[in-house]
Structure formats: C-alpha cells, structure tokens
Amino acid sequence: MRGAVGTPNVSGSGRRVGIDVGGTFVDLVTVARSGALSEHKVLATPNDLPGAIEAGLGLLADEAGTELRAFVASIDQIVHGTTIATNAVLTRSGSVAGLLTTEGLRDCLQMRKSKKEEPYNLRYQAPAPVIPRHRRHGVRERLDEKGAVIEALEIDDVQSALDKLRADKVEAIAICFMHSYVNPSHEQQALEIVRSSLPDVYVVGSAELWPQLGMYDRVSTAALSAYVGPTLDRYLGGLIERLAGLGFRGTLLIMRSNGGIMSVDRARRTAAATLLSGPAGGPRAALAYVAGLGLDRCVTLDMGGTSTDTCLIRDGEALVVPYGDVDRLRIAMPMLNINTIGAGGGSVAWIDEAGLLKMGPRSAGAMPGPASYGLGGVEPTCTDADVVLGYVNNEYFLGGRMKLFPDRAREAIDKDIARPLGIDVVAAAAGMYDVVNVNMAAGVSEVSIAKGFDPREFALVIAGGAGPIHGAMVARELGIPLVVIPKASAVFCAIGMLFADLQHEYVQSCWRPGRRQALDELRALLSEMGGQGERDLLGEGVTVGGIERRFFLDMRYVGQFHEVAVPVELDEVSSEAFAQVEERFHALHDRLFGYAVPGQAIEIINLRLTVVGQTTKPQLTAAQRATSPSEHARVGSRRAYLPDVRDFASVPVFDGARLAFGNTVMGPALIDQPATTVFVPTGYEMMCDRFGSYAMYVNDRRDEFSERIMAQ
C-alpha cells in the first residue's frame, strides 16, 4: 500500500483545506494563514473524483491569485470526507469479497440476529449480505467463551478455502472466528496464511478490527470493511498520486464516522470506519456557529444533492452511538447519531400506485442530474421544483459558472407529475416542495422527538446547497422558532472537517458468564487501552499535552439485552469508588429507558476508550456591526412562490455578500449567494450575526432573538 503524502502534522499554522466528496458535488474550503475562508463547489465526476478535486483546488488557487501547483504546495493539511465507502454499500458496487469463519457458522452473516426488524411485516425481506454464500467458507477451529482452545485451527481447511476463493478471483477476505474477541490467536494464524498465500488481497480480521462480543456484529463489520476496503484503497491511492503530482507535501487526513479524523494508513486498514464519513463533519461546524449565539444545543439539517442528514447536538456534544447501520447492515463501531434520508436537491419526484406524489429516495445524482442542469436529465427533481418556483437565480447558479434551464425543469415536471395528476406545473412543483419539506421534518423528528427531545427547544442549523431554500419551512412544520444558516452553509461539512480532532475508538469485551469481574483487572485493561491510544496519537503527530482520554463501561442489568455506555474516570474502577459509577448507570438507564432498578445486579460487558488528539482549528472572525442599512444590499426583485398564499409574488432579492452583522431582512425575501439561496418566508425575520450567519426567527419572538444576536 502507498502511504500518505507527507509526515503527520496536526498543529501546523499554514494553509488547511477541507474537502467533502458527495454524490452530486465536491465541496472545498480553505483557511489561509490570515484566517480568511474561501469556498467552492464543483460537480462530482463519478469516474474521476480526484480530477474533480483537482478542478476545485484550481478554483481555490484562482481566488488566491496563484498558480495551482504553488497553491497546492502551500497546503499543510487536507482533511477529507468521502461517501466512497457508503456509496459502494448502497449501490452494491464494492469488491468481490470472501469470508473465513468457524465451521458451521458461515450463515451467521445472513441469519443476522435471528429476528425480523419488522416482525409484523409479512413482506419484510432482510438485505442481502455483501458476501454471498458460495464465497463464505467454514474452517475447523473452536474456542470457548473464555478463549481456551477446544479445537486447534485446521491449516488445511484454511488453504482449501483460499484455493476456492482464489478461483473466485476475490479482492478481499474477511476473517471472523467465534470468541476471537477474547483470544485472537486463531484469527492471527489465518491472517498470516492469507497474507502469505494471497499477498495482493485485502484482508480483515474481526478481532484486529473491532474485538467486541457479539458474533453477528463482528462478522458484519469485518465483511463490510472487506467489501469496501479495496474500493477505498484504490481511491485514496489515486488521490494521493494526483496530489503528489500537483506538489502536495502536507498531510492528508480522513474523516471518520465518529466525527474525528484519522491518518490515511489507518483509514485503509479500517475502511468500515469511513462509512458515513462525509456527513460527520456537519455537527462540528454547527457547534462552532451556534456558539456565536451563546448556544450549545441544536439540530443540524444538511440537505445535499442526494440526501439529507440530521443530527442532534446537546450540551456541546453530538450524540455518538456504539453501532450503526448502512442499508440495514450492522457496523459495530461508534459513529455520530446521524439520520440520513433520501431527500436532496436531486431527489426524483414520482407517483406511486395509489396516485400519491413521492420524492426520492432515488436521486438523479451529478450525471445526468436535474433536468434544469441541461446535462441530459429528463426526470423532475427537487431542484427543478425550486427553479420553477423562482427560488433559484438561474443566471447565478454556482456564482454564474453554471447556467440553469427552467424550461427543461417545467417540461420534466409537466410530463411526469402535472399531467398524470391533472394539475398545472406550478401546483405540481409546489406539491414537490411541500413533500420534500415534510420528509425532512420527519428526519429531524427521528433524531429529536424519537429520542425524547422537543425540537422546539433547539435551534435548527441549515446546511447544504439546497438546505437554505427549504430550512425555514421545515422549522415551521415542527414549530422550531430559530433557524441558523451559516453563509458557508453550502460547504458546511467541508468546514466542519477543519474543526475535527484526531479521534480513535477502542473496545475490549470483558463479559464473563457466571462471575462478577474483578475491578482491578478491568482497571488494568483500561489503562493498557489508554496507553495504546496515546501511542497511536503520538505516532500521528499529536503532542502529549494535546491528548484527552475518555473511558466508558458498557453496563446492563443481569439478564438484560441492551447496554448503557457509562463514562468513568480510571480511578473510579475500584471497589472503593465503584458505587458512584453504579449510581451513574441507574440515572442514565432511567433517562434512556424510563426506569431504573437500584439494587438489581449489574454486569459489565465491554470496556471502551475514546482518545482525542487536539488539532489546530480555524478561528471564526467576528465582524464589526454594519454601518449601512440592509437596503444597500438589495439588488432587485424576483417572482417567487409564497407557500402561505399559494401564489407568486414579486419578492425583494438581497446580495448575501453585502449583508453584515446587524442587518435585518423581513420576509418574504430571497438572499442570493454563489452556491445557494436563502428563502425568508412570510412571518420570519432574518438578522446577520457577528459571524455573518443568517439567524432567522419568527416575528413574534423578534425581541428575544434580536437581543441575543446583538449581545454576542
């Protein structure tokens, strides 16, 4: 494998670039030594993503007034988030992979947890495994639950399985043996054999990747990592080559699903950790922007070209869950609690069998894209509806670099939606707009109401190229009074990547049936994990003083199925202090599940560690209060559809670049920016905060919010 360009350096003071590769656009943000921020969006080119990144870097170089190679050479660090792994799973376009597992367990991947996710749905079908049955091979070996060897690994079985997988021309192999989380020796033997016999094959050991109790969780995680590993490895290799050819000698870091960043080498070894990598940058940026309003809680809504991601942030922290699912396939690795729905600018409108209008989840993507792009797309999309309704400046899309074709948008909507429903084009476009807003409101509810939080108590932070057109209407649907739209909302996740720290997660299962764990033993294991985490971060260029360790115990009542991750200090894992840990568990259990049982026996299942290596972060520059009234930023009017009156009206249009701290705009109004448009509906007022963000609030709470904005 080729390594990363340059030597890891997380504390440099030079130029840093954030790059977010999505399904439709590639977003790029750079922060110069002066603190100045520049942003650009370019269309993703699925067959040559490094080429799209190079094109975006060229635009940043032009803005900086320098030649491309000189600009790239001035970059100290690139933080990169990508949907490469996610898309490989969603489209089933990953590698040809095989599985080695304990004899008799090759169907574990397909049996899952032996229960239906929807027990009352008679038509429910579990998703197909990413490794089909004929490439899953059992080998003789057996450990007991304490790791003792019952049957030694049969080498001939491994070689025989490899002969079959070689004939199948596999690109990757996952290895997962029963109880390997407590004794990885058999997996390590098998790994050595595979690496010796098939040196060009990508290989993953479940205990090496994630040594956690739970056979299905481990085998699914290992299988997914093997399935996406070669694809990610090729992509990163091509990107490194392209960057090196442009003169890049800095550090390339990869965004991971838990909201942290990691080295390229680590990303290649743990490919599953990059699933949902791109959206993970959003919550970091949201925290930075709402802090300017004195807030530490919000819900993010990031509407891109293909999907919308929502995430709840409370007490200055985004919720991290110990496992997640991609396309209903389990990943037993910590990740931000991001809910993704198929609602984006490219979401295709269609009519179901009952004659109801639907939006998504299928997307027109970057190619051919929405009909209004003029790139060959003929299906009506959310963007086409926005164009027909007058929200988008057809002559200033992407800052004028791309012309839109409203007539083609009207034709697509008329053919596929308006005529079949017996309505006119405007009514059809308005219906599309309403449906996608309701879909996104449901996405916000999933991370708030469904988790026991009232969304009306949170600010709604809007991001993505399409988000600001829809954000206020989603807030209205849920009764959320305050909406925050950063001026750089169109490249929100790319900005968030520059606020991320190096962050790694470690787990060690410690459950022993029939006995209570010795706390001294557990404390020693936690200490050992902490030492490993520190060594890993020091190897990535973090200084000792910039390392933070966070320990957790997965605890549950004896006989229970679900665990609770309880934060602990190392010295609390002792007989003298453990009572306060148990009290903390009862309180957390009560908050999560609505009840606690003090006095009930408790068991510890897993030890967890999060290590964080602090990085140098950009400083948001606070602006001086505007000396000119808002009217100086007005550039004209545009006919736009107003949802409250269900008709078009002439709406004032403002240039976002001219609006400054303290400027206010009364709705209805439109604010044009190069990469997006902000729609301020009737009943809302917008005020620019000190970071230039658009803080939009309902009129009847003007005094409360305007005072907060101006006080910061």
Give the count of domains, the chain.
3
Check whether 125 has a pLDDT greater than 90: no
The pLDDT value given to residue 489: 87
Whether residue 503 contacts residue 610, with contact meaning beta carbons closer than 8 Å, is answered with yes
Residue 265: give the domain boundaries: 15-88+234-269
- 183 with 74, same domain: the answer is no
157 SS3 class: helix
576 domain-assigned: yes
Q: Which of 183-192, 393-402, 490-499, 595-604 has the lowest mean pLDDT?
A: 393-402
Supply the pLDDT for residue 578. 92
Q: Please say if the pLDDT value at position 2 is more than 60.
A: no
Per-residue pLDDT at 5 exceeds 50: no
Calculate helix-pair angle for 406-413, 425-447, nearest 10 degrees.
90
Q: Specify whether 23 is located in the same domain as 43.
A: yes
Q: What pLDDT is stored for residue 365 in this prediction?
A: 75
Pairing state between β 298-303 and 459-463: parallel
pLDDT value of position 179: 96
In a domain? residue 588? yes
Whether 423 has a pLDDT exceeding 50, the answer reads yes
Give the pLDDT confidence score for residue 517 in this predicted structure: 64
Average pLDDT for the chain:
90
Query: Is residue 24 a part of any domain in this protein?
Result: yes
Asked if residue 185 and residue 247 are part of one domain, the reply reads no
Task: Determine the pLDDT at residue 8.
Answer: 42
Report which listed range, 108-122, 131-145, 614-628, is most confident: 131-145
Checking if the pLDDT of 368 tops 80, the result is yes
Q: Which residue has the higher pLDDT, 620 or 258?
A: 258
- Please indicate, yes or no, whether residues 57 and 106 belong to a single structural domain of this protein: no
> Hunting for tokens 């699933």 — which residue is that?
275
Note whether 158 and 253 are same-domain residues: no
Tell the residue number behind the tokens 């400083």, with chain if given. 619
Domain shared by 165 and 57, yes or no: no
Which two three-digit tokens encode residue 269? 């070894």
Are 52 and 128 part of one and the same domain? no
DSSP assignment of 12-44 equals --SEEEEEEE-SSEEEEEEE-TT--EEEEEEE-
CA-to-CA distance for 387 and 382, rounded, in angstroms? 9
Phi, psi torsion values for 695, nearest 5 degrees = -95, 115
The reply to whether 208 and 112 lie within a common domain is: yes
**In three state form, how does the secondary structure of 313-361 look?**
EECCEECEECCEEECCEEECCCEECCEEECCCCCEEEEECCCCCEEEEE
With bands split at pLDDT 50, 70 and 90, how would you rate the model's confidence at 7? very low
- What pLDDT does residue 619 have? 78
pLDDT of residue 4: 41
Residue type, 256: R
Highest mean pLDDT among 223-232, 494-503, 507-516, 587-596: 223-232
Percent of the chain with pLDDT over 70: 96
- Range 213-223 average pLDDT: 95
Question: Is 712 part of a structural domain of the chain?
Answer: no
pLDDT band at 524 (very low <50, low <70, confident <90, very high): very high
Residue 515 has pLDDT above 60, yes or no: no
The pLDDT tens digits for 424-452 are: 999 999 999 999 999 999 999 998 988 88
Q: Of 676, 684, 611, 612, give the one whose Cα is nearest residue 643.
A: 684
Peptide bond into 230 cis (omega under 30): no
Peptide bond into 283 cis (omega under 30): no
Single pTM value for the model: 0.84
Mean pLDDT of 334-359: 90
Q: Do 221 and 256 sit in the same domain of this protein?
A: no
404, part of any domain:
no
221 lies in the same domain as 148: yes
Whether residue 528 is contained in a domain is answered as yes
- Distance between CA atoms of 148 and 181, rounded to whole angstroms? 12
pLDDT at residue number 114 = 76
Residue 355: predicted pLDDT: 93
Residues 33-44 pLDDT 10s: 666 678 888 888
Show which of 220, 251, 269 is a domain's final residue.
Answer: 269
Kindly report, residue by residue over 477-486, the tens digit of the pLDDT.
Answer: 999 999 999 9
Based on the fold, state whether residues 56 and 166 are members of the same structural domain.
no
pLDDT band for position 516 (cuts 50, 70, 90): low
Measured distance CA(228)–CA(329) in Å, rounded: 13
Q: Is residue 54 one of the residues assigned to a domain?
A: yes
Q: Which of residues 203, 230, 257 is at a domain's end?
A: 230
Q: Of 245, 269, 293, which closes a domain?
A: 269
| 323 within 8 A of 295, measured Cβ to Cβ | no
What is the tens place of the pLDDT at every residue in 580-632?
Answer: 999 999 999 998 888 999 989 999 999 999 999 998 888 777 778 888 889 99
436 against 46, higher pLDDT: 436
Q: Is residue 674 part of a domain?
A: no
The verdict on 520 and 576 lying in the same domain is yes
> What per-residue confidence (pLDDT) applies to 712?
63
DSSP, residue by residue, 170-221: -SEEEEE-TTTTT--HHHHHHHHHHHHH-TTSEEEEHHHH---S-HHHHHHH
| pLDDT at res. 34 | 61
Which domain CATH number covers 50?
3.30.420.40
* pLDDT attached to residue 277: 84
SS3 content of the chain, % helix, strand, coil (to 5): 35, 25, 35
